[in-house]
A and B are shown apart, each in its own frame.
Chain A
Amino acid sequence: MRGNHVVGEAAIRAGCRYYFGYPITPQNEIPEYMSEKLPEAEGGVFIQAESEIASIHMVIGASMAGGRVMTSSSGPGISLKQEGISFLCALELPAVIVNMSRGGPGLGNIAPSQSDYFQATRGGGHGDYRTIVFGPNSCQELADLTYEGFNLADKYRTPVLILGDGMLGQMMEPVELPQEIPLKKLPAKDWALTGAKGRPSRFIRSLILDPIKEEEHNWKLMRKYEKIIREEVKWETYFADDAKMMVIAFGIAARIAKGAIKRLREEGVKVGLLRPITLWPFPFKAIKDFSKKVKHFFVFEMNMGQMVEDVKLGIEGNAEVHFYGRPGGVILTPLEIARVISSQYYQKRLG
């Protein structure tokens, strides 16, 4: 299945019945899929809104009413949704937001790029907030993480971002789809606005004028974020045990890096890979632990260098960090990246 279609199907199987979006390449296959499947599903609603801003606010509404809801876009569209994402965090509303990112800044182009790492992990919205960010690297992970994204969003009452890229959205791979969850089995939401008949009314709002109360609200959010950091960090390694140089890459760049590492290992070059699966919470501790025995890190991203800052934070000065990036939507081949890694490896006299 095509990556974008996988997202749609996994969402529906996770119980998502509301989709609001506005077209932008390279994610158009998501609304295409949802527009076909949601009207067939029980209680399904698909709306192509008049703008990205309208669509994210429709997400807020559906989420308030207790539904599982999703929107998707690409870089420039996500920029427009940032205000709504900040509101989702403040209102403690679950939602899944997919970004199939493309070359930027500005309108950029429609080629696959990882230029939205900062936007996803730091957020362009206002206020003190965090969002869970997944960086899937295959169609299978797109399915699994989209599905899990809905569960985590409900569990923590917070929006979950899926940061893919144009390549992942367009790529086709075989996928084992997760089991469809019947709507009745979804956890009940004792906070949703469903009509106050026969019960006291509920309030969901983000305007808290009293600074003491706003501070309390902020601490409450922070405790939630700390719990997420403790429990939800995900990462994986490849050939890490005897590595003298660790490559760190996420998403599709990690797939290309993996191809490069496979080549290099055949030549006896001892490189390994660490791939963060959650970009927030970032696997700081895993990287710190590695920096105790590996003294050379090589960060590869399809941007000008964004995640490399988090890697440096994790390493805390314990090891050398080398960065190689190609922005603008250029897709490197494993051979090219293998050459860069190996020249760095031999310059540092590791082999």
Chain B
Amino acid sequence: MLIKTIFSGFGGQGVIMMGYLLATAGMVEGKNVTCLPSYGAEVRGGTANCTVVVSSEEIASPVASEPEYAVLMNNPSLIRFQNQVQSGGTIFLNSSLIEDRPIRGDLEIYEIPLNDLTKQLPENRGANVIMVGAFIKKSGLVSPETMIRVLKNTFGGKNPAVFKLNKSALMLGYEYLK
């Protein structure tokens, strides 16, 4: 098994955090992982993306030529990555912000209206973690239990309330997709 995922969106949408969470959860489950964030003169509002490879074998390249999954948070990301996803691959898109849809017919597409979903959470936050919940439900790359553990390690130390919020965001996304 060697699964490549690209996360992409505006800087500030938590794209790098999504990649970090998936890579860390993969590591906790004893898989090989690499997480390659784009970096540059990116600021809030610019574009950011992150490539995560989760594998049962040694990972040769951290750069993905044809990812199996793309998790897209805004319209420019869809334009940039829709043609890179391999045939039969899957796109998760934030339907609150993305109006276009891929023309390709060989992809599975899941639409998650993140902005509407965040309204169900206190403080109207956590869109990226809702997306992570939806992503792990359909990809099955890591279990939700592992992801909750990772959320606890990542956010629990500083402020337990932040962990609680992220945990409910994760479960909201996980249960949104049937």
Contacts and interface: CB of A to CB of B under 8 A. Distances in A.
Contact of A332 (B20, B37, B63): B63
Most B Cβ at <10 Å: residue of A172, A174, A260? A172
A167 B36 contact: yes
Given A110-B40, A335-B65, A171 B60 contact: no
Interface string A236-267: 00000000000000001001101111100000
Interface string A330-343: 01111110000000
Contact of A334 (B34, B35, B40, B61): B61
B60 A334 contact: yes
A333 B63 contact: yes
B41 interface: yes
A234 B22 CA distance: 34
Given A172-B20, A255-B61, A258-B60, A166 B66 contact: no
A252 B36 CA distance: 12
Given A171-B62, A172-B20, A255-B61, A26 B33 contact: no
A256 B36 contact: no
B27 interface: yes
A259 B67 CA distance: 13
A201 to B, nearest CB: 49
Contacts of A215: none
Contact of A335 (B35, B62, B66): B66
Contacts of B62: 167, 171, 173, 252, 255
A173 B60 contact: no
A174 B61 contact: no
B23 interface: yes
Given A111-B40, A333-B65, A335-B66, A262 B60 contact: yes
Interface in B1-58: 20, 23, 27, 32-37, 39-41
Interface size class of A (residues with CB under 8 A): 20 to 34
B41 A171 contact: no
A173 B61 CA distance: 12
B107 interface: no
Contacts of B65: 259, 333-336
Contacts of B36: 167, 170-172
Contacts of A332: 63
A335 B67 CA distance: 11
Interface string A158-175: 000000001100111110
Contacts of B61: 255-256, 258-260, 333-334
Nearest to B52: A172
Contact of B34 (A26, A110, A173, A262): A173
Contacts of B41: 110
Interface of A: prevailing SS? helix
Nearest to B19: A172
Contacts of B32: 174
A206 to B, nearest CB: 39
B64 interface: yes
Given A256-B61, A258-B61, A335-B65, A171 B40 contact: no
B63 A172 contact: no
Contacts of A172: 20, 23, 34-37
Nearest to B35: A172
B40 A256 contact: no
A170 B62 CA distance: 12
A171 B35 contact: yes
Contacts of A261: 60
B81 to A, nearest CB: 12
Nearest to A262: B60
Interface in B55-81: 60-66
Nearest to A175: B27
Contacts of A335: 65-66
Given A174-B33, A335-B66, A336-B65, A259 B40 contact: no
Given A252-B62, A256-B63, A333-B64, 14 more contacts: A25-B39, A26-B39, A110-B41, A167-B36, A171-B36, A171-B37, A172-B20, A172-B35, A174-B32, A259-B61, A333-B63, A334-B60, A335-B66, A336-B65
Interface of B: 20, 23, 27, 32-37, 39-41, 60-66
Interface of A: 25-26, 110-111, 166-167, 170-174, 252, 255-256, 258-262, 331-336
14 contacts: A170-B39, A171-B35, A172-B20, A172-B35, A172-B37, A255-B62, A256-B61, A259-B60, A259-B61, A334-B60, A334-B61, A334-B63, A335-B66, A336-B65
